[in-house]
């Protein structure tokens, strides 16, 4: 997207914005401007500092001393607060949209914004008119009485944009921040949302568009700021910058040849998937050799995150078949209990919500999958249970090795090692791992890698779904790249590197 340039005062300016957490500086003197009516892209690898910057703008984080934010050339007090963001015309649409599925479109647009009559009674006629104006402002017709949970994904995204736009309508120049708004939208719906965003910008509102999808950034934005390692690598005119240049700015080096030929390594296949389909994943098929570590990755919302839960029966597949050894299973009928019986194990990314129970002790979490082994005749042999758990805590170097501590009191890395011990004690034939090293310190990460490698060498088939590209490049034999719910590339051998994974993931 390209507009005629005009010299104008920036709508907002970030000047030397920095942020330090526990002595570690994650943002370093970030400075860039967003012009009135401009759609400005913000891109960078995971962990580059984009989210921290957005949280400073929204008032969630307080920046370091010396950071400045200017609106129309005038300093704004920092840290921001909800009152200040509204006063200066800032509105945010986050990836989760912040909508209540059980409420109607009208209620989501107006909740917290009602203008009650005398006696605190809601004037529904007036509220409907406000909702009509909010939707009309972006040229969209959506039934006000429809429940948000029943809308199409793009309609939900547009409701969130309409609400944000209505909040800043009274300001001559507002700022709309869109943080990964298309992550879970199908391709046809993205264009509908983009048309809406363009109308917003044409009305004079500045838009800060955060996305991992470089094709979207290049088609929508006027300029792009690239964040690398907490610093501004460059701010460029989108029309003058191609995709390879953006990726190079994100990586900090030239790409070289990122499309090597795929080559296979013959071995016994222990696990196979055919035609697996869910809400995002479409017709996925792959095989895993015994002793192989297979990585699945891609940008957020591309479908790879759904695969382990479909295979384990935690989410319902609409089609597909699974083969473990010589036995075929239906992906549409498999349950977690059946998957466990056939030698599968899943370590979810949500440690305390899905993988473990934070309020339970370490012992209770670790022994849960094998509790029957300690309960002959229905009575738990606690001494045997304690002895087995103590041995696992030592083997997996969980610190502190205290079985009666609540899981939630351990560090992230030690939680993960305890939960890995929980499943690996079953010696699974197929181990499914979702973000096994997310939020884990470097020491614990090395220990987790060692356990994964040992399990693979014992003959298990391992599938890792992760956005930690460097980890995948070092511990996987192959990595499958997902885009729009499908596998679009396979990297293996010398072609498998962090830079190659980044390049394949970001290319259109």
Q: Which helix (H) or strand (E) holds 310?
A: helix 307-312
Predicted confidence (pLDDT) per residue in 142-196, tens digit: 888 888 888 877 788 788 888 887 777 767 678 989 887 776 565 666 787 788 8
Whether residue 83 sits in one domain with residue 175:
yes
What's the pLDDT at 377?
A: 78
Per the listing, tokens 């986050």 go with 94
Read off the pLDDT of each residue in 453-461 and give the average, rounded to a whole number.
89
According to the per-residue pLDDT averaged within each range, which of 88-92, 332-336, 398-402 is highest?
332-336
Give the residue-averaged pLDDT of 188-211: 83
The answer to whether position 140 is within a domain reads yes
Residue 107 DSSP class: H
Q: Give the best-scoring range by mean pLDDT among 32-36, 364-368, 438-442, 472-476.
A: 32-36
> Does residue 224 sit within a domain?
yes
| Higher per-residue pLDDT: 30 or 507 | 30
Q: Look at residue 5 and tell me if it is in a domain.
A: no
Burial of 309 (0-12, 13-18, 19+ CB in 10 A): buried
| Mean pLDDT of all residues belonging to the chain | 85
Q: Which of 92-106, 268-282, 378-392, 494-508 has the highest mean pLDDT?
A: 268-282
Q: Cβ distance 200 to 140 under 8 Å?
A: no
pLDDT at 265 over 70: no
> pLDDT category, 500, cuts 50, 70, 90?
very high
Q: Is a pLDDT exceeding 60 seen at residue 264?
A: no
**Residue where a domain terminates, one of 408, 426, 444:** 426
Q: What's the token pair of residue 498? A: 């962090």
Q: Are 55 and 179 in a shared domain? A: yes
Residue 227 pLDDT > 60: yes
Higher-pLDDT residue of 7, 173: 173
**368 is written with which tokens?**
């849960």
Looking at per-residue confidence, does 54 or 507 come out higher?
A: 54
218 and 104 assigned to the same domain: yes
Residues 21 and 69 in one domain: yes
Q: At what angle do helices 153-167 and 124-137 cross, to 10 degrees?
A: 100
On whether residue 78 sits in a domain, the answer given is: yes
Cβ-Cβ contacts under 8 Å for 308 (sequence gap 6 or more): 346, 348, 432, 433, 434, 463, 465
263-277, 327-341, 370-384 — most confident range: 327-341
Longest dimension (CA), the chain: 82
3-state secondary structure labels for all residues of 321-334: EEEECCEEEECCCC
Residue 6, pLDDT score: 52
Domain boundary among 251, 283, 315: 251
For the ranges 281-290, 395-404, 434-443, the one whose mean pLDDT is highest: 281-290
State the average pLDDT over residues 405-418: 85
Buried b (16+ CB within 10 A) or exposed e, 6-20: eeeebbbbbeebbbe
The packing angle between helices 412-424 and 442-457, to 10°, is 10
In a domain, 185, yes or no: yes
**Got the DSSP string for 445-477?**
HHHHHHHHHHHHHTT-EEEEE-S-HHHHHHH-S
Helix, strand and coil in the chain, % to nearest 5: 40, 25, 40
Ramachandran quadrant class, 111 (left: phi over 0; alpha: psi -120 to 50; beta: rest): beta
Element containing residue 409 per DSSP (H, E): none
Question: Can you list the alpha helix ranges (DSSP code H) found in 374-491?
Answer: 382-395, 412-424, 442-457, 469-475
* Residues 407 and 280 both lie in one domain: no
Judgement on whether residues 416 and 432 belong to the same structural domain of the protein:
no
Q: Strand 327-330 to strand 319-324: parallel, antiparallel, or no bridges (unpaired)?
A: antiparallel
**Is there a single domain that holds both residue 40 and residue 98?**
yes
> Is 19 a residue whose pLDDT tops 90?
yes
Q: Are residues 201 and 139 in the same domain?
A: yes
Q: What is the pLDDT of residue 4?
A: 47
Indicate whether 225 pLDDT > 70.
Answer: yes
Q: What is the C-alpha to C-alpha distance for residues 439 and 121, in angstroms, rounded to an integer? A: 47
The CATH number of whichever domain residue 502 belongs to comes to: 3.40.50.300
Host domain of residue 417: 356-426
Q: Are residues 62 and 204 in the same domain?
A: yes
From residue 252, how far is each of 26, 234, 236, 415, 471 by CA, in Å? 17, 11, 15, 34, 19
Is 398 inside any structural domain? yes
- What's the pLDDT score for residue 92? 85
- Whether 1 shows a pLDDT value over 60: the answer reads no
pLDDT over 70, % of the chain: 89
Q: How many CA within 13 A on the CB side of residue 156?
A: 23
Quickly list DSSP for 242-294. Answer: -HHHHHHHHHTS------PPP------EEEEEEEEE-SS--SEEEEEETT-EE
Task: Specify the pLDDT at position 469.
Answer: 87
Same domain, 30 and 177: yes
Range 459-468 average pLDDT:
92
Query: Can you tell me the mean pLDDT for 301-328?
Result: 93
Q: Which DSSP string do the residues of 357-372 spell out, in sequence order?
A: -TTSBHHHHHHGGGGG
Domain count, the chain: 3
**Domain end marker among 210, 230, 251:** 251
Cα–Cα distance for residue pair 345/333, rounded to 1 Å: 17
In a domain, 348, yes or no: no
- pLDDT tier at 258, thresholds 50, 70, 90: very low
Mean pLDDT of 367-394: 87
pLDDT reported for residue 103: 87
CA 174, CA 172: separation in Å to the nearest integer? 7
**Pair (132, 244) in one structural domain:** yes
pLDDT tens-place string over residues 53-83: 988 998 889 999 999 999 989 999 898 887 7
Position 460 in a domain: yes
Q: Check: CB of residue 288 under 8 Å from CB of residue 462.
A: yes
Which 3 state secondary structure label does DSSP give 437?
A: coil
Closest C-alpha to 93, from 73, 108, 78 = 108
- pTM of the entire structure? 0.60
Q: What are the tokens at 178?
A: 């869109």
Same domain, 449 and 383: no
Whole-number Å distance between alpha carbons of 327 and 321: 10
CA–CA gap between residue 252 and residue 231 (Å, rounded): 11
Rounded mean pLDDT of 377-391? Answer: 88
Length in residues, the chain: 508
Token digits of residue 398: 């969980």
Output 494 or 312, whichever has higher pLDDT. Answer: 312
Dihedral Cα 266, 272, 276, 278, nearest 10 deg: -110
Q: At what angle do helices 412-424 and 382-395 cross, to 10 degrees?
A: 120
């Amino acid at each position: 997207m390209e507009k005629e340039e005009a010299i104008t005062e920036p709508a907002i300016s970030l000047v030397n914005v920095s942020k330090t957490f526990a002595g570690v500086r994650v943002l370093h003197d970030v400075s860039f401007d967003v012009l009135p009516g401009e759609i400005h892209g913000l891109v960078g690898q995971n962990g580059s500092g984009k989210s921290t910057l957005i949280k400073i703008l929204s008032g969630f984080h307080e920046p370091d001393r010396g950071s400045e934010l200017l609106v129309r050339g005038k300093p704004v007090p920092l840290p921001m607060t909800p009152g200040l963001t509204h006063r200066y015309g800032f509105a945010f649409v986050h990836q989760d949209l912040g909508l209540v599925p059980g409420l109607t479109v009208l209620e989501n647009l107006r909740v917290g914004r009602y203008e009650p009559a005398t006696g605190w009674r809601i004037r529904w006629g007036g509220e409907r008119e406000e909702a009509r104006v909010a939707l009309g402002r972006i040229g969209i017709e959506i039934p006000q009485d429809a429940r948000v949970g029943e809308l199409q994904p793009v309609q939900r995204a547009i409701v969130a944009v309409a609400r944000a736009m209505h909040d800043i309508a009274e300001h001559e120049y507002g700022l709309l921040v869109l943080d990964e708004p298309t992550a879970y939208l199908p391709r046809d719906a993205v264009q509908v949302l983009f048309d809406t965003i363009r109308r917003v910008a044409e009305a004079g509102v500045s838009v800060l568009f955060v996305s991992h999808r470089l094709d979207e950034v290049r088609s929508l934005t006027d300029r792009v700021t690239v964040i690398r390692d907490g610093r501004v690598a460059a701010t460029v005119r989108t029309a003058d910058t191609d995709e390879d240049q953006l990726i190079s700015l994100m990586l900090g080096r030239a790409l070289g040849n990122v499309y090597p030929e795929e080559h296979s390594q013959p071995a016994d296949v222990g696990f196979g998937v055919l035609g697996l389909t869910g809400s995002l994943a479409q017709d996925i098929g792959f095989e895993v050799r015994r002793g192989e570590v297979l990585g699945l990755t891609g940008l957020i919302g591309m479908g790879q995150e759904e695969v382990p839960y479909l295979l384990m029966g935690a989410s319902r597949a609409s089609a597909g078949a699974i083969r473990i050894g010589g036995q075929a299973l239906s992906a549409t009928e498999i349950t977690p209990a059946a998957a466990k019986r056939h030698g599968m194990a899943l370590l979810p990314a949500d440690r305390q919500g899905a993988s473990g129970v934070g309020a339970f002790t370490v012992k209770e979490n670790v022994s849960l999958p094998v509790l029957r082994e300690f309960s002959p005749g229905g009575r738990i042999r606690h001494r045997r249970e304690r002895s087995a758990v103590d041995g696992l805590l030592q083997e997996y170097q969980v610190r502190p090795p205290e079985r009666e501590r609540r899981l939630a009191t351990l560090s992230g890395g030690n939680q993960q090692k305890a939960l890995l011990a929980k499943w690996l004690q079953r010696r699974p034939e197929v181990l499914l791992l979702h973000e096994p090293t997310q939020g884990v310190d470097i020491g614990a990460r090395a220990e987790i890698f060692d356990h994964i490698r040992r399990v693979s060498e014992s003959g298990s088939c391992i599938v890792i779904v992760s956005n930690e590209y460097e980890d995948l490049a070092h511990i996987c034999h192959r990595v499958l790249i997902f885009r729009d719910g499908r596998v679009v590339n396979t990297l293996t051998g010398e072609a498998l590197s962090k830079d190659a994974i980044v390049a394949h993931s970001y290319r259109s």
